[in-house]
Amino acid sequence: MNEPVLRTEQLKAFYVLDVHGDQKVVKAVNEVNLEIRINEVYGIAGESGCGKSTLLKALYGAVEPPLRLMGGKVYYLVGDSELDISSLSPEEKRKLRWEHISYVPQGSMSVLNPVIKLRETFSDFIGSHVSGKTRGEAFEIAKGRLSELGLPIKILDAYPHQLSGGMKQRVTIALAALLKPRIIICDEPTTALDVVVQRGVVQLLKDIQKKLENSIILVTHDMGIQANVADRIAIMYAGKIVEEASTETIFSDPQHPYTRYLINSLPRFGDKAPRESAPGNPPLLSKLPDGCPFHPRCPYAMDICKQQMPDTHALSVNHKVACWLVAEREDAKTP
């Protein structure tokens, strides 16, 4: 089965705001095409404000005003058939959640209901999808999962405010893996945690993926973590995917000028040369320039870059780049 577990086609999601009569449109997800395969960790990297979190919301089917789906499709592979999630009723979507696809939120500090014990939270998540006898079993699985992940069972009797940040993050990851979903989406799971805890969280994710053999979509701006966990990485800039390749390729042979800057800015062992980052700032998603969004900062910008959005060019089966410079170079190669 080589079909992608999750697929998007020209996905467009904008925020439409009306601030005292002026309409502002924030193009957070601007024609994104993704294909997530089974049994892989797919990383999405990019600066703050490039639209990563919005993309995740759109992938999860959690689009609520002022966020609007402006175009494109999202497909899940449920069982053997591909479902267009916009065709699903709210109840069908609700059923898919957690069982088929789950979510690890950014900043788990306040995502747990403060007035109930953790065991009730777990029971809520389980009970909303699994009913009757199997609930008792599922609860046992929950306890089992917790111990597998090195979390003490007695935290089930605790209230959220009694746990540390790192512990809460691990709890949300355990919750996400509870019903063995096919896809787990993680939104910056390591931000706001100290490095030691980060390592534990990353290891947890890797263990889960290995056990469940499912797909994990990992969004983080931390390239070090991407290098550690991801099989393939997509680089996002100003609402678009500018490059997508295997982790190795991204780090060893980045093609897009932005990716190059990104990789070059990472510190390396033994290399004491000053790191250089891309000049300027990323554009406001409400005021995107014409053509390629990166051209104001790109040292290789050509005329066409300022006028037209570059198409996505496949350098090889596993390497895609959206850049006129690369496209021209490849065209020059083929006679």
CA-based R_g, the chain, Å: 21
Q: Which of 125, 237, 258, 294 binds other proteins (CB under 8 A)?
A: 125
**Token pair recorded at residue 284:** 């406001």
Measured torsion, CA atoms of residues 88, 73, 320, 292, in degrees rounded to the nearest 10: -140
Binding mask 172-211 for other proteins (x = CB under 8 A): ---x------------------------------------
Beta carbon of residue 15, minimum distance to other proteins (angstroms, whole number): 8
Distance in Å, CB of 164 to other proteins, minimum:
15
| Cβ-contact 279, 288 below 8 angstroms | no
- Applying CB under 8 A, among 116, 153, 284, 314 the residue interacting with other proteins is 116
Span from 121-129, 137-145, 211-219, 297-305 in contact with other proteins (CB under 8 A): 121-129
Q: Under the criterion CB under 8 A, does residue 131 sit at the interface with other proteins?
A: no
Q: Dihedral sign, CA of 290, 292, 294, 295?
A: negative
Rounded distance between C-alpha atoms, residue 242 and residue 220, angstroms: 16
Quote the least distance from Cβ 247 to other proteins, whole Å. 28
Of the residues 42, 60, 75, 76, which one makes contact with other proteins according to CB under 8 A: 60
Dihedral Cα 109, 115, 121, 125, nearest 10 deg: -90
Strand 215-219, strand 240-246: pairing:
unpaired
Binding mask 260-279 for other proteins (x = CB under 8 A): --------------------
Residue count at the site for other proteins (CB under 8 A)? Answer: 39
User: Could you give the strand order of the β-sheet that contains 232-237, starting from the edge strand earlier in sequence?
Assistant: 101-104, 183-187, 215-219, 41-45, 232-237, 240-246, 319-321, 313-316
Stretch of 5-13, 18-26, 238-246, 307-315 lying at the interface with other proteins (CB under 8 A): 18-26
Nearer to other proteins, 79 or 90 (CB): 90
Q: Under the criterion CB under 8 A, does residue 164 sit at the interface with other proteins?
A: no
154 near other proteins, rule: CB under 8 A = no
Among 3, 66, 84, 290, binds other proteins (CB under 8 A): 66
Amino acid at 217: I
Cα–Cα distance measured from residue 36 to residue 304, given in angstroms and rounded to the nearest whole number: 31
Hey, CA dihedral for 109, 114, 120, 121, is it positive or negative? negative
Residues 140, 135: Cα–Cα separation, whole Å: 9
The distance of closest approach from Cβ of residue 34 to other proteins in the complex, given in angstroms and rounded to an integer, is 20
Q: Could you tell me if 197 and 204 are in contact, meaning their C-beta atoms sit under 8 angstroms apart?
A: no
Spatial separation of the C-alpha atoms in residues 292 and 281, rounded to whole Å: 15
Q: Which of 3, 62, 266, 311 binds other proteins (CB under 8 A)?
A: 62
Select from 19, 195, 196, 332 the one that contacts other proteins (CB under 8 A). Answer: 19
What lies within 8 Å, CB to CB, of 314 at 6+ separation is: 320
Closer residue to other proteins (CB): 115 or 196:
115
- Count of C-beta atoms within a 10 Å radius of residue 45: 25
Minimum distance of other proteins from residue 107's CB (angstroms): 8
Write down the least CB distance from residue 65 to other proteins, Å: 4
The distance of closest approach from Cβ of residue 192 to other proteins in the complex, given in angstroms and rounded to an integer, is 13
Is 134 near other proteins (CB under 8 A)?
Answer: no
Binding positions for other proteins, rule: CB under 8 A: 16-20, 23, 60, 62, 65-66, 93-99, 102-103, 105, 107, 109-117, 120, 124-125, 128-129, 159, 161-162, 175
